């Protein structure tokens, strides 16, 4: 199971991520489109770093992740949170959300267009009428760019990490190895992660088939329209009611 053994070390590995930048960008989008944030679901919440800034803004955020172990790390930081371990394709929640968001290319872990469609349809199900779905994804160009990193080694406090990337058929595979110092010895942890890159037109098509109106495709962290050269795209969608 991915994100099991590395969960206690995830925040250390991601220490350079500016979570406030991500959540501020998300909030800017909600303000532009007058999105209700009465009840919010973080789809792929991980260790909670993307939701904690929103909770500090007094938002009611539900944490959902497929990794129980990542959520246990999140619970250490949030006293009054509601945590759900579940599949993106079969969300174990009922219909009452005004906003569902997913950050850090979590949806790229869905490896087929069919799985992406199942996820989108289930998000549509749990949204209230006129609810919004906002998420980012790596494009095909995005995963190809990541693959150019090849291999890198990082040294942190009592932790060494080796990141090896391999690209095939627009699917990037990360072979991640950690060496954690425990006393005079090192513990080794190995995990394999895969993401598929999706072109904007493919994602937009699946969204429309799933009952969403695509409001905008933004170049991530900007309010500029994404294009064929974009590496990461923020999708802004609204539930259509039939």
122 and 33 both lie in a single domain: yes
User: Does 2 reside within a domain?
Assistant: no
Q: Rounded to the nearest 5°, which phi and psi values hold at 88?
A: -60, -25
13 and 75 both lie in a single domain: yes
What's the burial of 12, exposed, middle or buried (CB within 10 Å: 0-12/13-18/19+)?
Answer: middle
pLDDT in tens, 52-105: 989 988 899 999 999 999 999 999 999 878 999 999 999 999 889 999 999 999
User: Does 112 reside within a domain?
Assistant: yes
**Shortest CA distance to 54 belongs to which of 73, 35, 33, 70?**
35
pLDDT in tens, 133-160: 999 999 999 999 999 999 999 998 899 9
121 and 151 both lie in a single domain: no
Q: How many domains does the chain have?
A: 2
Q: Which ranges constitute the DSSP H helices of 56-209?
A: 68-75, 113-126, 140-147, 200-209
pLDDT in tens, 233-242: 999 999 998 7
13 and 57 both lie in a single domain: yes
CATH number at residue 230: 3.40.50.150
129 and 47 both lie in a single domain: yes
Q: What is the pLDDT of residue 64?
A: 97
Residue 1 has pLDDT above 70, yes or no: no
pLDDT in tens, 186-199: 999 999 999 999 99
Q: What is the pLDDT of residue 235?
A: 98
181: containing domain: 142-196
44 and 32 both lie in a single domain: yes
Do residues 234 and 134 make contact, with C-beta atoms less than 8 angstroms apart?
yes
Measured in residues, the chain has a length of: 242
Q: What is the pLDDT of residue 3?
A: 87
Find where tokens 């532009």 sit: 32
Cβ contacts of 114 within 8 Å, gap of 6 or more: none
Residue 208 has pLDDT above 80, yes or no: yes
CATH number at residue 154: 2.20.25.110
User: Does 113 reside within a domain?
Assistant: yes
pTM: 0.96
Cβ contacts of 16 within 8 Å, gap of 6 or more: none
pLDDT in tens, 154-166: 998 899 999 999 9
Q: What is the mean pLDDT of the chain?
A: 95
131 and 164 both lie in a single domain: no
């Amino acid at each position: 199971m991915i994100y099991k053994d590395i969960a206690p070390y995830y925040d250390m590995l991601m220490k350079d991520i500016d979570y406030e930048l991500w959540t501020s960008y998300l909030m800017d989008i909600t303000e532009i489109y007058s999105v209700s944030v009465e009840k919010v679901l973080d789809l792929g919440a991980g260790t909670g770093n993307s939701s904690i800034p929103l909770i500090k803004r007094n938002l009611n955020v539900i944490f959902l992740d497929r990794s129980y172990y990542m959520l246990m790390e999140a619970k250490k930081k949030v006293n009054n949170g509601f945590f759900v371990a579940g599949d993106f394709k079969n969300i174990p929640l009922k219909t009452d959300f005004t906003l569902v968001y997913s950050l850090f290319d979590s949806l790229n872990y869905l490896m087929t267009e069919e799985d992406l469609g199942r996820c989108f349809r289930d998000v549509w199900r749990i949204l209230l009428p006129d609810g919004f779905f906002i998420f980012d994804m790596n494009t095909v160009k995005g995963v190809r760019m990541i693959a150019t990193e090849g291999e890198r080694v990082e040294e942190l406090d009592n932790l060494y990490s080796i990141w090896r990337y391999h690209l095939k058929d627009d699917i990037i595979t990360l072979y991640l190895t950690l060496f954690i110092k425990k006393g005079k010895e090192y513990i080794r942890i190995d995990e394999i992660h895969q993401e598929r890159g999706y072109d904007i037109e493919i994602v937009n098509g699946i969204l429309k088939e799933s009952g969403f109106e695509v409001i905008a495709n933004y170049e991530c962290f900007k309010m500029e329209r994404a294009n064929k050269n974009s590496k990461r795209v923020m999708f802004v969608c609204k539930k259509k009611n039939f």
